[in-house]
Amino acid sequence: MFSFNIGSVPVLFSKFFSAADASTVLAAIPERAKRVVFIDTASTPHLADVIQALLERDLEVHVRDHHDAPTRSNPRQIEIADAADRVRQLIGGNAVISNRDANPACSSLIEVGQFAGEGTVIVADPDADGLTATMKALGIIYPELDADAAVLDGDRAGQTAEKLSPNAYLFVRAMSTLPAFDPDRPQVSEGAKAKLFGDFVDVVQGDAEAKSRLQKGVETYELGVHEAKNLAEAVVEVIPGLFFVDVTTAPRFDMGTLAAIMERRPGCKVTVQRKTMGPIAAKHGGIQISLAVARAHQAALNLQELLPAGFISSPESGIISNTPFLLHVSESVWRETVLPALKAKLAS
């Protein structure tokens, strides 16, 4: 978890993968708080437990999220929907929980300045969607915010200059230069991310010095683009439609550039990267396998259907998936479960 203030409002950025995450967030909420707003925080039993504890402290609680399952056709969708239902039962109409099909960005669930004011604490997902929705909730907006948020919460390949505002494109390039997460020193990457998020908030409010700091990161980004183009030469088509690359020994590279190049390969349906970064890598021998469905095939291919019935999404389980077109797994889950299922799926 990391945090900083936007104006007078404390904003905590955290996932809710574990009871430890829940405890950390609870401990960080100031005693003076009167209202806690959860933004872009996917419903989990741990989130529901935090909400229950806050209600017992007589705090007003709100949720604005878009991770509900639009259907309940498989065990994972049922698990997600059940968690969302529990949150709704706890706080009633204060829970506005939609799905990504209806609301690609969480900012579209929030009115400008809806949660501004003294006594408020916001808990948001530590990504660009969580940040932009929080900004809107506190009344900090710019004309393209909702459109930018939807792109920033999508696949890396789609985050281009043509689809983002100039400031958002500057932000996403600077994001690519953040230090990798180190579980032994989480404060390094989390501190850098907090600083970058704060700079983006200042940039959209016209702060020239903050913009200059983001622009300095562009030089590092350009080097990453160059490395990504070199890595693209090592991409292999494992089976028809499945393109794989091992980046475990690669220098720092721009993930968006590599993803876009892979997706442009003729016949590409799924891209796969084997890497040493990510929460699963920290828990499973230093390796994480990250999959993404090419945009042209996202309506037809659901990666969550490749997983065992009743799977748990968490770093410890070796599976993280909140959307059907993105999936992160451990190497053993990849080798024993996902790859065989993909081979059968793509062959059909």
Q: Which DSSP string do the residues of 113-149 spell out, in sequence order?
A: TTT-STTEEEEE-SSHHHHHHHHHHTT---TTHHHHH
pLDDT of residue 183: 67
pLDDT along the chain (348 residues), means of 10: 95 92 95 96 93 97 94 78 94 97 96 96 97 98 97 89 95 84 77 95 96 85 89 95 96 87 95 93 93 92 90 92 92 96 90
Q: Please tell me the distance from the alpha carbon of residue 333 to that of residue 288, in angstroms, as a whole number.
A: 10
- Where do the domains of the chain lie, and which CATH numbers do they carry? 2-152 (3.90.190), 231-347 (3.10.310)
> How many Å apart are CA 260 and CA 253, to the nearest integer?
13
pLDDT of residue 72: 81
